[in-house]
């Protein structure tokens, strides 16, 4: 017969087991849900008809209703990636970027995780008309950042966009260290590449999402960057705040735009980027830059090697 353990030992074992389970449960509750890629960028438009021509005709995106904001319009490059165009408000600033948004596997759990890490700006989770769940927060520089758990796929007319994958979003950053606290320390973004126009400067810092290959590009105007803060005007801000569509072959993409008379009035490139990737720039009617970029580098990048895999398509 197996001897019985003393009651005090049984109680101690039970208490320890409960403590371990409680700690494990708390740890599970604090785990960060996956952030899988870029969802979209919100941009303001002073002339909605001109913006419609740019996004639907020049870029070839599929136009759809905006489940988050009835005043907005979405231009889809894929079922889960788009640009959200909003009317320019009367109290607008120089920036035409209204938000940057990332896809997540679980919006409610991500909000709870961010609150547990001290991000008090994370709003309540809302459900849009398409069933998507989302919330917004502010990064350390005051940018509105949204996290979207995709809902039902949109029903869209046939479209043939010049690119079907938003591979990165970039926006003006004054303090790399402050932004790193939010994006890297709390959200888990990972280093990808950094570079500059001058060897002793730092202009661009790319951070990949934790659970995918899309990235955020800090467009530095502080921390020793080439562009001093005092020189950033509305035109330059449109260059800094941008999104990038991946293309497999830049020559073919630009040739197609030219042959179909789809170049925006303001454009530049193609040119070789400091990261060793071919790129070309189009600009919407309000000056927001859309960067076409090849997925893979064809030359050795300056300043830093790539420290993670690039998007494949």
Q: What tens digit of pLDDT does each residue of 23-53 get?
A: 333 444 569 999 999 999 999 999 999 999 9
Q: How confident is the model at residue 1 (pLDDT cuts 50, 70, 90)?
A: very low
Tell me the three state secondary structure of residue 45: strand
In a domain, 77, yes or no: yes
How many domains are contained in the chain?
1
282 domain-assigned = yes
For the segment 95-102, the average pLDDT, to the nearest whole number, is 96
Give the structural domain span for 95.
35-294
Residues 110 and 33: beta-carbon distance below 8 Å: yes
46 and 88 Cβ atoms separated by less than 8 Å:
yes
pTM equals: 0.89
The mean pLDDT value for 287-296 works out to 97
Instruction: Indicate if the pLDDT at residue 15 is higher than 60.
Output: no
Does residue 307 form part of some domain?
no
Is the per-residue pLDDT at 22 higher than 90? no
Distance in angstroms (rounded) separating the CA atoms of residues 163 and 271: 18
Strand partners, 245: 166, 292
Instruction: Express each pLDDT in 143-181 by its tens digit.
Output: 999 999 999 999 888 899 999 999 999 999 999 999 999
Does any domain span residue 2? no
| Residue 265 within a domain | yes
**Residue 235 to residue 222: CA distance in whole angstroms:** 18
CA–CA dist 172, 303 (Å, integer) = 20
| CATH code (residue 179) | 3.10.180.10
């Amino acid at each position: 017969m197996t001897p019985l353990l003393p009651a005090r030992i049984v109680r101690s074992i039970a208490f320890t087991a409960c403590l371990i389970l409680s700690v494990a449960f708390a740890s599970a509750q604090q785990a960060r849900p996956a952030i899988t890629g870029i969802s979209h960028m919100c941009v303001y438009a002073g002339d909605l008809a001109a913006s419609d021509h740019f996004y639907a005709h020049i870029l070839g995106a599929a136009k759809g209703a905006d489940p988050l904001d009835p005043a907005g319009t979405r231009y889809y490059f894929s079922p889960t990636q788009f640009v959200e165009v909003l009317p320019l408000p009367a109290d607008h600033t120089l920036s035409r970027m209204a938000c940057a948004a990332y896809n997540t596997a679980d919006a409610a759990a991500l909000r709870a995780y961010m609150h547990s890490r001290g991000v008090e700006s994370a709003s309540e989770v809302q459900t849009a008309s398409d069933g998507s769940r989302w919330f917004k927060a502010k990064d350390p520089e005051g940018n509105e950042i949204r996290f979207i758990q995709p809902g039902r796929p949109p029903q869209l007319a046939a479209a043939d966009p010049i690119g079907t994958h938003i591979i990165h979003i970039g926006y003006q950053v004054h303090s790399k260290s402050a932004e790193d606290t939010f994006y890297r320390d709390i959200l888990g973004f990972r280093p990808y590449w950094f570079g500059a126009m001058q060897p002793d400067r730092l202009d661009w810092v790319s951070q990949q999402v934790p659970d995918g290959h899309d990235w955020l590009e800090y467009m530095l105007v502080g921390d020793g960057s080439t562009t001093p803060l005092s020189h950033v005007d509305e035109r330059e801000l449109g260059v800094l705040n941008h999104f990038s569509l991946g293309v497999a072959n830049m020559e073919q993409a630009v040739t197609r735009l030219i042959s179909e008379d789809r170049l925006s009035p303001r454009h530049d490139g193609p040119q070789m980027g400091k990261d060793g990737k071919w790129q070309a720039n189009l600009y919407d009617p309000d000056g927001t830059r859309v960067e076409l970029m090849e997925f893979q580098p064809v030359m050795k990048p300056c300043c830093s090697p790539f420290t993670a895999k690039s998007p494949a398509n």
